Amino acid sequence: MSATTILVAGSNLAGRHGAGSALHAREHYGARLGVGVGRTGDAYMIPTKDARLRVMPLEAIAPHVATFLAYAAEHSHLTFRVVAIGCGLAGYKPEQIAPMFAGAGDNVQLPPEFRRVLKTVNP
């Protein structure tokens, strides 16, 4: 039996999934319209924009990342492939988002730009 891979993408609280990694998650991984947080299909959405599509502050994104990391730890039989959330349409830099993923479990695959930042922070 092969392990299921879950795409972890950035989203908005309205769950519109109209562009970027959210659109990819909707078209290819079963992310449901109207669900901007958590898992639907083989996608897990972490909001980086609010319901009006305004960029959320980092301190509002961090709890959603923490909730995701707890979910991933509870579902160790799954593999989670994280895209560089917040670094596309939301406009953040990897140096701002990657530290939120420090301590991610072995079943969480981080994007290269996050791995580079975390390696620099925790050599």
Domains in the chain (CATH in brackets) are 5-121 (3.40.220.10)
Residue 36: per-residue pLDDT: 95
List pLDDT tens digits, range 49-84. Answer: 999 999 999 999 999 999 999 999 999 999 999 999
pLDDT of the residue at 122: 58
- pLDDT tens-digit profile of 75-114? 999 999 999 999 998 999 999 999 999 999 999 999 999 9
Closest CA to 12 of 103, 104, 21: 21
State the average pLDDT over residues 22-51. Answer: 96
Reported confidence tier of residue 121, pLDDT bands at 50, 70, 90:
low
